[in-house]
Amino acid sequence: MRRFQWTLTRRRALLGIAFISPWLLGFIFLFLIPLIQSVSFSFHKLTMIEGGYELTAVGWQNFKDALLVNPTFNRILTESVIDMIINVPLILFFSLFTATLLNQKFRGRTAARAIFFLPVILASSAITAAEASGLINLIGDANAINELGGAASSFNGDYIIMMLLDLGIPNVFVEYLMEAILRIYDIVSSSGVQIIIFLAALQSIPGSMYEVAKIEGATSYETFWKITFPMVSPLILTNVIYTIIDSFSNSTITRTIYTTAFQSLNFGLSAAMAWLYTLVIAIILIVIGVSVSRRVFYYD
Amino acid sequence: MELQKATARTKRAWLGNGGHRLRSKVQNALWSLFRYGIISGICFVIIYPIIRKIAVAIMDKQDIYNPTIFLIPQNFTLDNIRTAMKVLNYFPTLGNTLVFVTITMLFTTLSCALAGYGFARFHFPGKNILFGLAILTILIPANTLMVPMYLHFRSFDFLGIIHLLTGKEGMNLINTYWPTTISALTANGLKAGLFIYIFRQFFRGLPKEIEESALIDGAGGFKTFFRIMLPNAVPPLITVLLFSFVWQYNDSFYTSLYMSEMNLMPTMVASIAANANTVIQSMLPGGYDPNVKIDPNYIAMIVDTGILLVIVPLLVLYLFVQRYFVESVERSGIVG
């Protein structure tokens, strides 16, 4: 038998493992094992006892409860997903548009950039919740706020809706447009990181491409669609994924799962809900990932 | 005849050209006008809530019901700020939070840099699968793991060592800094997968020759990393430091999960409305009286002031670092 030798390759491999070992430890003990436990919790009833917990197997009961018994889960899940599906294209469009604007040279660009990225550092679900609670105090109950918020954040949009409908634009588009206008603050405040990413992508496009286009007589519209858009398209996928992940942090579904666990103390049901949600997200991510990555243009 | 034709042609060409130039000039002017319109509009949408909070913070109670006041109050006062500071227990809370956030930030950056470097520059079996798993950690919603994690930290016992040594059931780490610190040290904290990705992308872009020459000069793997690679990785370092600081400061999910009873900004903010009520009741001239109804508008005022106080440290920080914020992301190689 040949003696085991410490070749350079092997030593390098070991060193590599040493470098990632903190992460690997954390991954196994703070991700993998909890993940497996979470699967098992969703099939059990969990009761807290002193110094630990007890599991009783209940089969698919938790999932049945979440989908068929719980009065609000289905509705909240669909609402969250629909909300996300509406927001993602709006955020993408807005951030690409803004990034193109901020990439141009004009007076006061630095200040404008500084302001545009302000929402990145101020995005906090705790603050949003506190603001809402302040408003609730002010008005009385949450329902009133929704109405008030709608009224306060928008000018009277009825005329525009009428006008657009009279023009023969399909109802669906008009609704989407109005939705977009009413959501403007949400959209603006949640697209900071996406703007940064697009801006970075725009700056990595070689200037010579634009020079060639200009010499060949392309209009700026053509330049956008033939050069800018294909060159930033790989980042569209990144941004879609980022936006979807970001929407986890302050959606109603997240809060529902949290309160089910720590207020109703129904840990099994909460785990089942979390897994259903994860499943839905995974399906959306896969569908979007596959369909977008086929159309993406890679320069090199 | 010929001459006339020729001049007419030149004239037409000249005029046409001039017209074109004029048109493009007008177009440019209109475009920049449009651009300023849009940009200032969006800036207003972003800044308005902050301006309104500042206005509320310095507004006196008696101005609440004055309908003629818009933004600029008639009676200035600092009472709101004082009350809100009392409600938030401001300076101790801020101190706690800053210590906690800084520790987490440093550990997260260190562990993620190590992992990112490991993934970028070494070949070992299963590397690609492991990196795929690191990316997977970003994609799984935190809710899925929250119950097992909570239970795990409630009776923390690494591989049963504590049970082996002391015979006890494990430590309760809930309401200490440890859960977050441990997650940060092992590169599994808040959005750590993203940070690992940023570091990996950057280290992959650095030339290999640097390390080779370090190796020839006799530096070991870790020495190379700390003395040569890390000082070269300033852009991703800044990006990760900034983002982990800001996200940790704003995070309410993990803080309320692990540290709900500690004095930290996110937990204080979450209960600010209720606390404001109690504090104002205790400041009544006749002493604390839970039966007195406080004007809800006044409470809303205090809540708004409190929120302003919470975001002020971030705003101050941002004033100094906003330049790096954008530049470093551009150079950190997220874009590939």
- Alpha-carbon separation of residue B94 from A124, A126, B248 (angstroms): 16, 15, 13
* Cβ-defined contact of B147 to A41 (cutoff 8 Å): yes
Question: Residue B171 forms beta bridges with which residues?
Answer: B156
Q: Which residue's entry shows tokens 């509009």?
A: B41
Mean pLDDT of A194-209: 86
* Cβ-defined contact of B124 to A104 (cutoff 8 Å): no
Interface contact B326, partner A, CB < 8 A: yes
d(CA B42, CA B27): 22
**Nearest-neighbour CA in chain A from B4: distance (Å):** 32
What pLDDT, in 10s, does the model give residues A36-95?
989 888 888 888 776 667 788 888 888 888 888 888 888 888 888 888 888 888 899 999
User: How many residues would you count in chain B?
Assistant: 336
Q: What is the CATH number of domain B89-270?
A: 1.10.3720.10
* pLDDT at position A154: 43
Interface contact B119, partner A, CB < 8 A: yes
* pLDDT at position B7: 64
Residue of B nearest to A195 (CA): B326
Report whether B299 contacts B276 (CB < 8 A). Answer: yes
Mean pLDDT of A163-187: 75
| Best B143, B191, B303 residue to mutate vs chain A (most A CBs within 10 Å) | B143
| Best A19, A80, A276, A298 residue to mutate vs chain B (most B CBs within 10 Å) | A19
Whether the predicted pLDDT of A143 surpasses 60: no
DSSP-assigned letter for residue A4 = P
The model carries a pTM of: 0.83
- DSSP for B142-177, please give it: HHHHHHHHHHHHHTB-GGGHHHHHH-S--B--TTSS
- DSSP for B273-321, please give it: HHHHHHHHHHTSTTS--TTSPPPHHHHHHHHHHHHHHHHHHHHHHHHHH
- Region of poorest pLDDT, from A164-173, A258-267, B172-181, B213-222: A164-173
d(CA A290, CA B196): 24
Q: Residue B286: what residue type?
A: G
**Nearest-neighbour CA in chain B from A27: distance (Å):** 7
d(CA B13, CA B19): 10
User: In chain B, where are the structural domains located?
Assistant: 2-57, 89-270
Mean pLDDT of B232-247: 87
B299 closest CA partner among A131, A134, A129: A134
User: In chain A, where are the structural domains located?
Assistant: 8-57, 62-123+191-300
What pLDDT, in 10s, does the model give residues A44-56?
888 877 666 778 8
First to last CA, chain B: 65
**Nearest-neighbour CA in chain A from B289: distance (Å):** 19
* pLDDT at position A146: 47
**Nearest-neighbour CA in chain A from B1: distance (Å):** 35
* Cβ-defined contact of A184 to B45 (cutoff 8 Å): yes
Comparison of pLDDT for A300 and B178, the residue scoring more: B178
Q: In terms of CATH, what superfamily is A62-123+191-300?
A: MetI-like (1.10.3720.10)
Mean pLDDT of B18-32: 79
What pLDDT, in 10s, does the model give residues B295-329?
777 888 888 888 889 889 988 888 888 777 766 66
